[in-house]
Amino acid sequence: MTTLLELTDLHFAWPKQTELLNIANFKLNCGQKIFLRGPSGSGKTTLLGLLSGVQKPNKGSIKLLGHELTLLSATARDKFRVEHIGYVFQQFNLLPFLSVRENVLLPCRFSKTRAQKAINRFSSLEKAADTLLNNLGLDPALYKRRADQLSIGQQQRVAAARALIGEPELIIADEPTSALDTDTREVFLKLLFAECEKAGSSLLFVSHDQTLAPLFDKNLSLPEINIARGLT
């Protein structure tokens, strides 16, 4: 199996705080779907920020696609992130004044590679956005609607389509289902898995809801792999 992402001897503390993360090793293979759980405040979002290059660790290595992120400048990390990572934020972070379709197409404005991949697969950018939205279960009547006029479940589908467009190698999802009921969560997850498989993207999914864990290839507990705040 090819390694997509590997963290080694990672240390991180927020300024003026005690160490939050000390992780000896964490690995994600190409095509793998990993579930990472941990209670509120255990550092899940912080870890995602580190491995997507938003923050830099105090010490240690973060390798994505063979590139050492800690050696890149903040600007280079931003560029690398938009090319290779699709991120579904906890609060979705859709731009409220843009339409559903425009929101999905945002990564293609910042990454030529993703725009080209979307065109190669679907023949046009618009078709790429619409097909992804449709596959994720969003009613086509909504594609021209402003993003702030959607329900939470609908926003989640738009956020997932935006992460998937242009086939980034890694999809990171930060508790994107927490606002939904259990049945809706499972249906959404299965649609997300199917789209990740079609795009060849690996998935790192973070949640505090352990009931979702059996659906994944591998599941990990942050407190168990984090020596700084781990289980004693």
Q: Which residues bind ligand ATP (CB under 6 A)?
A: 14, 20, 38, 40-46, 208
Q: How far apart are CA 125 and CA 101, in angstroms?
A: 10
In terms of CB distance, is 87 or 143 closer to ligand ATP? 87
In terms of CB distance, is 14 or 97 closer to ligand ATP? 14
Q: Tell me how far, at minimum, the Cβ of 36 lies from ligand ATP, in Å.
A: 10
Q: How far apart are CA 166 and CA 21, in angstroms?
A: 32
Q: Tell me how far, at minimum, the Cβ of 211 lies from ligand ATP, in Å.
A: 16
Q: Tell me how far, at minimum, the Cβ of 167 lies from ligand ATP, in Å.
A: 27
Distance of CA 172 to the CA centre of its chain: 2
Locate 225 and state its tokens.
Answer: 């792999």
In terms of CB distance, is 46 or 70 closer to ligand ATP? 46
Q: Tell me how far, at minimum, the Cβ of 137 lies from ligand ATP, in Å.
A: 25
Half-sphere exposure of 48 (CA within 13 A, CB side): 25
In terms of CB distance, is 20 or 179 closer to ligand ATP? 20
In terms of CB distance, is 89 or 193 closer to ligand ATP? 89
CA dihedral 165, 29, 64, 224 (to 10 degrees): 110
Q: Tell me how far, at minimum, the Cβ of 206 lies from ligand ATP, in Å.
A: 7
132-139: long-range contacts (C-beta < 8 A, 24 or more apart)? Answer: 132/104, 132/161, 132/164, 132/165, 132/195, 133/100, 133/101, 133/104, 133/157, 133/158, 133/161, 135/191, 135/194, 135/195, 136/160, 136/161, 136/188, 136/191, 136/192, 136/195, 137/187, 137/188, 137/191, 138/100
In terms of CB distance, is 38 or 57 closer to ligand ATP? 38
Distance of CA 153 to the CA centre of its chain: 17
Q: How far apart are CA 109 and CA 124, in angstroms?
A: 14
Q: Tell me how far, at minimum, the Cβ of 66 lies from ligand ATP, in Å.
A: 27
